Homo-oligomer: A and B are copies of this chain.
């Protein structure tokens, strides 16, 4: 894989022949070919079967023509060796049988060797690199400590994150301990991903948009600075969140070569706020993929015009592509970005 892949050029804010695009959850249920593989495994089994995980990782490169692959895995895999009782139930999403609810729960958490416990992820990465044969770069990823902590405390998905915020506000020292432990395992995990062949990393702080700026500064930012400061320096890192229109400057302060935006803030405004010394990723509404091609085209045109030809823009949705999205809409998006930005 050469360093002049358009995706990597954009990460470094160097001029690319066209604006690169990849799509969060591009290896996912909207693709019939993904569903065919998925049928044979439970979700966790698929994550832990390198041949199959590599197969679905590469599918959107062949089928959709995106400019980067992203490892097929889940941000919660790292919670498994932390002994919280992780399971995925069809339809209901992730669930943790033994959530963190007290400072004592944090103190007695194990300190696992995640490189060993998640060695299957390294195997997947090596297999993906072999299958890609240099066609596009491979992105590794992990959840950000807040988002991981929110699952660990809530015991699954949440609407209001009340248990998480109650913990953060009521037990600041135990919260800091928990975040520090999550940063430690995440640094090990991502370092192992890069050693196995990941050529870029994305930190998913998917639920950080539920936190206000003052709480972010006090209870999240120090841990993000710690995390970004300890990641391998030889690959670009994308810092992504949703609902972050009030947090962008703080996220940039946290770190990342590329800041990921969702559609709730204009790209031009978001980029100016994080600073033009960062690259930017985003920020189309996943809903446009359900609209007619003329609407998708108009949205891409408006987005590229906001980026104003500045090097360092990677097109993506503002959140993952949804399971019932029409494949034709996804293809139309990718083709239009390539055509209009060339």
| Selected contact of A295 from candidates B170, B210, B213, B322, CB within 8 Å | B170
| Chain B positions within 8 Å of A263 at CB level | 212
| Selected contact of A266 from candidates B213, B266, B269, CB within 8 Å | B213
- Residue A265 lies at the interface, judged by CB distance under 8 Å to chain B: yes
Q: A285 touching B215 by the CB < 8 A rule?
A: yes
Q: Report, as a range, how many residues of chain A touch the other chain.
A: 20 to 34
- Give the shortest distance, in Å, between A262 (CB) and chain B (any CB): 8
Cα distance A166–B209 when bound, in Å?
Answer: 24
| Selected contact of A166 from candidates B169, B170, B245, B290, CB within 8 Å | B290
Q: B287 touching A264 by the CB < 8 A rule?
A: no
- Give the shortest distance, in Å, between A160 (CB) and chain B (any CB): 6
Cα distance A96–B143 when bound, in Å?
Answer: 37
Cα distance A210–B288 when bound, in Å?
Answer: 13
Identify which of A160, A211, A264, A286 gathers the most chain B CB atoms within 10 Å of its CB: A264
Q: B213 touching A322 by the CB < 8 A rule?
A: no
Q: A213 touching B265 by the CB < 8 A rule?
A: yes
Q: A287 touching B245 by the CB < 8 A rule?
A: no
Cα distance A322–B291 when bound, in Å?
Answer: 36
Cα distance A295–B246 when bound, in Å?
Answer: 22
| Selected contact of A246 from candidates B165, B214, B245, B288, CB within 8 Å | B245
- Residue A302 lies at the interface, judged by CB distance under 8 Å to chain B: yes
A170 in contact with B291 given A285-B165, A285-B212, A322-B160 (CB within 8 Å)? yes
- Give the shortest distance, in Å, between A227 (CB) and chain B (any CB): 22
- Residue A243 lies at the interface, judged by CB distance under 8 Å to chain B: yes
| Chain B positions within 8 Å of A287 at CB level | 160-162, 165-166, 169
Q: B264 touching A243 by the CB < 8 A rule?
A: yes
Q: Mark A150-188, 1 if CB is under 8 A from B, else 0.
A: 000000000011100110011000000000000000000
**A160, closest chain B residue (CB):** B322
Q: A169 touching B209 by the CB < 8 A rule?
A: no
Q: Of residues 220 to 251 in A, which have CB atoms within 8 Å of B's CB atoms?
A: 243, 245-247
- Residue A292 lies at the interface, judged by CB distance under 8 Å to chain B: yes
| Selected contact of A292 from candidates B165, B170, B269, CB within 8 Å | B170
Q: Of residues 288 to 338 in A, which have CB atoms within 8 Å of B's CB atoms?
A: 288, 290-292, 295, 302, 322
Which residues from chain A sit less than 8 Å from chain B, CB to CB?
160-162, 165-166, 169-170, 209-215, 243, 245-247, 263-266, 269, 285-288, 290-292, 295, 302, 322
Q: List 16 A-B contacts (CB under 8 A).
A: A161-B287, A162-B322, A165-B290, A166-B290, A169-B290, A170-B290, A170-B291, A212-B263, A212-B264, A213-B265, A213-B266, A214-B266, A243-B264, A245-B245, A245-B264, A246-B266
